[in-house]
Amino acid sequence: MDLAERIARRRSQRSEHRLVVDWDGLNPAVHLQEPVGREALIEALLEAIDPLFDETLPSNVYVWGPAGAGKSAIVTALMSTLEGELSPRQPIYTTTRGGSERLEIRFVYVDARRETSRFRIYRQTLAALRTESVPRRGVGTDELRAQLRAELATTDGVLIAVDHLDEPGTIGLEDLQDVFASFDDVAWIGVGRTPPDDLSAPVPNARIHVPRYSYELVDILTVRASRALSRNLDHDQARRLTEWAEGNAHDALAALYVAAVEADAAEANRIRSGDVERGTQAIPRGGAPIGRVLALSENERVVLRELLDLPAREEGSIDAVADEIAERSDLTSSTVKRLLYELAQIGVLDRVQVSVGSSVVGRNPSMVKPNFSTALFERLDDT
């Protein structure tokens, strides 16, 4: 979108009193093409993968830092730009025997929250590299690995970024080493929260620490808001959000998103401080990131949706809640119960002791409550 177009769009939006021009601009799970306030880190990352620019694969890299520090933002932006700049837009070469066709290094981003098995990682990588369809079932992991190996031969190597390692429910750095151990023409960037010293697996020498945001977060909110809103965000409100979020960009953006929803619903022409207030109240600090929740399987999200729809979800043991949800879905109570426990284990739900009357015998039941922004989930979880 060029400048004139942007201006025109704003004017027309303004005249319709639309505050929010582009919801994705505020979506914590969607990253900017051009990260803000992380120039030094990007430089460090480029340095680590420098051999690429001589058309050789770099060594593996480990990127780590706390939640909401912008790891995904940097890595996704880097990978998509590299794929755009250094890889052919479409493969136009024909493989002439003995010909010296110039191959290319390719770039793939994999979200370990979605690709939870070795099979899926191979599959996702393969799907990113080739245009023909990739089997989902009926073919073994070894077969898929062989197909990937064959596909790699048509490239000069692949740099694969695997995000969200070592989170509850995702594979770890150790698994990643193993998955690509037998590939010479693959280098990877592993991304996780765990400090290298706390990992038992061998960690690549190239390590990039992404620290929590401090002042930069104000700029990020400001830039995001300027893209997403037809009116600028007050500097004070941006500051208030970053302080409340203690530097966690996800939480700050999520709160801003909800604030925008409030303002939009009220047909306000700017985000008011009451909106920000309600935004912050709608986000559990340090809860599960919305991207985590959206990456859950269909049935896990069904369970969450039903849970949120339950008339009185504040009370009710897991057992009782599972029964109710089972009635409203085509899952068994037993399966719903298992899913609820699993969601609690990965931090999407919180388990809280239900204060129970004295008479009962046996272990005390607990109930679950969401540990993520339900407002955001309800808006972003389409289908």
Considering the complex, state which of residue 210 and residue 331 has its C-beta at the smaller distance from DNA. Answer: 331
Minimum separation from the CB atom of position 4 to DNA (A): 45
Considering the complex, state which of residue 128 and residue 245 has its C-beta at the smaller distance from DNA. Answer: 128
Minimum separation from the CB atom of position 140 to DNA (A): 3
Spatial separation of the C-alpha atoms in residues 244 and 255, rounded to whole Å:
10
CA count, 13 A, side-chain hemisphere, 146? 5
Minimum separation from the CB atom of position 42 to DNA (A): 33
- Token pair, residue 24, equals 């994705």
User: DSSP characters for 225-257?
Assistant: HHHHBSSPPPHHHHHHHHHHHTT-HHHHHHHHH
Minimum separation from the CB atom of position 314 to DNA (A): 16
Please report, in angstroms and rounded to a whole number, the separation of the first and last CA atoms in the chain: 28
Look-up of token digits 């979020």 = 245
Minimum separation from the CB atom of position 351 to DNA (A): 6
- Token pair, residue 263, equals 């303002």
Using CB atoms within 10 Å of the CB of residue 112, give its burial: 0 to 12 exposed, 13 to 18 middle, 19+ buried: buried
Considering the complex, state which of residue 94 and residue 133 has its C-beta at the smaller distance from DNA. Answer: 133
Q: Are strands 206-209 and 106-111 parallel, antiparallel or unpaired?
A: unpaired
Task: For the beta carbon of residue 177, count every other beta carbon within 10 angstroms.
Answer: 16
Minimum separation from the CB atom of position 344 to DNA (A): 6
Considering the complex, state which of residue 148 and residue 238 has its C-beta at the smaller distance from DNA. Answer: 148
- CA 11 from centroid of its chain's CA atoms: 32
Helix (H, G, I), strand (E, B) or coil at 122: helix
Spatial separation of the C-alpha atoms in residues 127 and 153, rounded to whole Å:
15
Minimum separation from the CB atom of position 292 to DNA (A): 16
Minimum separation from the CB atom of position 311 to DNA (A): 21
Considering the complex, state which of residue 125 and residue 373 has its C-beta at the smaller distance from DNA. Answer: 125
Question: Is residue 65 within 8 Å of residue 209, measured between CB atoms?
Answer: yes
Binding site for DNA (CB under 7 A): 117, 119-120, 133, 135-141, 143, 297-299, 317-319, 330-335, 337-339, 341, 344-345, 351, 360-366
Considering the complex, state which of residue 286 and residue 365 has its C-beta at the smaller distance from DNA. Answer: 365
Considering the complex, state which of residue 117 and residue 273 has its C-beta at the smaller distance from DNA. Answer: 117
Considering the complex, state which of residue 13 and residue 116 has its C-beta at the smaller distance from DNA. Answer: 116
CA count, 13 A, side-chain hemisphere, 15? 5
Compute φ and ψ for 12, nearest 5 degrees: -70, -40
- 268, amino acid identity: A
